[in-house]
Chain A
């Protein structure tokens, strides 16, 4: 099950990053926080999700189905 969860985390990583991207641009448009200031959040979100995937999964999932491209 662990491997499965790790796969799930890997799978939701990109959608969550995309949502973050949208939120940052929305902040850019509606609040004083400009995108050129907030973009590091993207790295942080992606990094944290990757870390989570690692700690939950431990090993790489078999069969070459997982792992970042």
Chain B
């Protein structure tokens, strides 16, 4: 007779342990943890079944272990719930058991003030809530804000409020501002929105999980860490470092120092940054960069971009990259984007897997251009007096020469190419595997393009 599986009892034990943890240590965010770590339940489940089979095998018999219908349903159920939970979790939704969603919000005013003395750095520890930090010509640290506590009744809310005092502590050359939300004696959610004025000579470091940061007019450096946060930086003198789990918006304007940004999220807006900009992460929204004086390095799973300086602007989203007025060397490697670059100097290296390329250097002298698309058309517009050595090829497609007789078209089966040397210039190399390549003079209309595509 077949033994019954261990899975059922073990599942029961796990559920029991879960509820026990929840009851004894309400401060552990069990539901958030589950949203992230649930796949290991599947692994554990599989390992148990594997173990059962192996034990049976070494005892001599071999038991079949196709899952019962109930188990399959349970696994599928777990996958759907778990996936949904994780997606919701990473979009900032938080799981509280239904019975905690009841209750009301109680508001308390919080505030404190303390001389900064000789401290050079303020460290904020606010788990949940928005921070607005303003540098000013002052010697004090002044905090004003509102604490919102979710509780079933006023007494619970008061208890939560008493257990989580706002503290300003001096430690060496640091001043630490703590909201102590982790000391909450109740289960209710606490959130604090604070407006803080600090001497503008100071540096800021902030840690939190859920809440936005807004930092304005500081001469020191800024370091912001958050799980789920939007960030706005304005007029910062020192270097800025921002590490976020997920954001809807990161905006930085008028920075004198470097900006180092890491995380996942949606939109980024950068304008007028004097220092180096390094962005590492994955962003699904619209990215706008304007007036970056030093090198920009953007790296995401789909795109690698390096530009020496950006007097103009770059705008990109998941499907499109548009830029004008760039200083190279420029390097852009991307998966599927239509790329349009105007007004650039210095060498350009460009690769896109799927997408059209449209290049208009517009400036002389030209530099080396190397552009490659796997599927997509490439169009190049050259200034009238440009000197260059051009090789443009397509494996499946047409080649269109609107530049003039100095460029020759060659066709071979389904492939076509344009070749031409005009003076002693840098090499221009355009390659597409599938699509039209066309070269024309600035000012001339692309008259042949439509005909060529027919």
Q: B99 within 8 Å of A by Cβ? A: no
How many chain A residues touch the partner (CB < 8 A)? Answer: 28
Could you tell me the distance in whole angstroms from the C-beta of A46 to the nearest C-beta in chain B? 12
The answer to whether A15 touches B49, judged by C-beta atoms less than 8 angstroms apart, is: yes
Q: A12 within 8 Å of B by Cβ? A: yes
Q: Which residues of B contact A10 (CB under 8 A)?
A: 64
The answer to whether A19 touches B53, judged by C-beta atoms less than 8 angstroms apart, is: no
Q: Knowing A18-B46, A19-B43, A32-B301, say if A25 contacts B65 (CB, 8 Å).
A: no
Q: B42 within 8 Å of A by Cβ? A: yes
Nearest residue (CB) in A for B44 is A22
Q: Which residues of A contact B86 (CB under 8 A)?
A: 28-29
Q: Which residues of A contact B67 (CB under 8 A)?
A: 14, 18
How many chain B residues touch the partner (CB < 8 A)? Answer: 31
The answer to whether A23 touches B66, judged by C-beta atoms less than 8 angstroms apart, is: no
The answer to whether B42 touches A4, judged by C-beta atoms less than 8 angstroms apart, is: no
Q: B22 within 8 Å of A by Cβ? A: no
Q: Which residues of B contact A8 (CB under 8 A)?
A: 53, 57, 62
Q: What DSSP secondary structure best describes chain A's contact surface?
A: helix
Q: Which residues of B contact A14 (CB under 8 A)?
A: 49, 65-67
Selected contact of A19 from candidates B38, B47, B62, CB within 8 Å: B47
Q: Which residues of B contact A65 (CB under 8 A)?
A: 64
Selected contact of A18 from candidates B38, B40, B45, B64, CB within 8 Å: B45
The answer to whether B53 touches A15, judged by C-beta atoms less than 8 angstroms apart, is: yes
Q: Which residues of A contact B83 (CB under 8 A)?
A: 25, 28, 35
Selected contact of B65 from candidates A12, A19, A24, A29, CB within 8 Å: A12
Could you tell me the distance in whole angstroms from the C-beta of B10 to the nearest C-beta in chain A? 14
Nearest residue (CB) in A for B58 is A8
The answer to whether B43 touches A26, judged by C-beta atoms less than 8 angstroms apart, is: yes
Q: Knowing A7-B62, A11-B64, A15-B65, say if A22 contacts B39 (CB, 8 Å).
A: yes
Q: A21 within 8 Å of B by Cβ? A: yes
Q: Knowing A15-B53, A18-B45, A29-B86, say if A4 contacts B62 (CB, 8 Å).
A: yes
The answer to whether A15 touches B46, judged by C-beta atoms less than 8 angstroms apart, is: yes
Selected contact of A26 from candidates B40, B50, B54, CB within 8 Å: B40
Q: How many Å lie between the Cα of A16 and that of B38 in the bound state?
A: 17
The answer to whether B282 touches A32, judged by C-beta atoms less than 8 angstroms apart, is: yes
Q: How many Å lie between the Cα of A41 and that of B283 in the bound state?
A: 26
The answer to whether A23 touches B64, judged by C-beta atoms less than 8 angstroms apart, is: no
Interface string of B57-92 (1 = CB under 8 A from A): 100001111110000000100010011001000000
The answer to whether B39 touches A16, judged by C-beta atoms less than 8 angstroms apart, is: no
Q: Which residues of A contact B65 (CB under 8 A)?
A: 11-12, 14-15
The answer to whether B79 touches A21, judged by C-beta atoms less than 8 angstroms apart, is: yes
Q: B36 within 8 Å of A by Cβ? A: yes
Q: Which residues of B contact A22 (CB under 8 A)?
A: 39-46
Q: Which residues of B contact A30 (CB under 8 A)?
A: 36
Q: How many Å lie between the Cα of A16 and that of B67 in the bound state?
A: 12
Q: Show 20 residue pairs from A and B whose CB-CB distance is below 8 angstroms, ordered by the A residue.
A: A4-B62, A7-B64, A11-B64, A15-B48, A15-B53, A15-B65, A16-B46, A18-B43, A18-B45, A19-B42, A21-B75, A22-B42, A22-B43, A22-B45, A25-B38, A25-B79, A25-B83, A28-B39, A28-B83, A69-B66
Seed contacts A16-B50, A23-B43; 15 additional CB < 8 Å A-B pairs? A7-B62, A7-B64, A8-B57, A11-B65, A12-B65, A14-B49, A15-B65, A18-B49, A18-B75, A19-B50, A22-B44, A22-B45, A25-B39, A28-B39, A28-B83
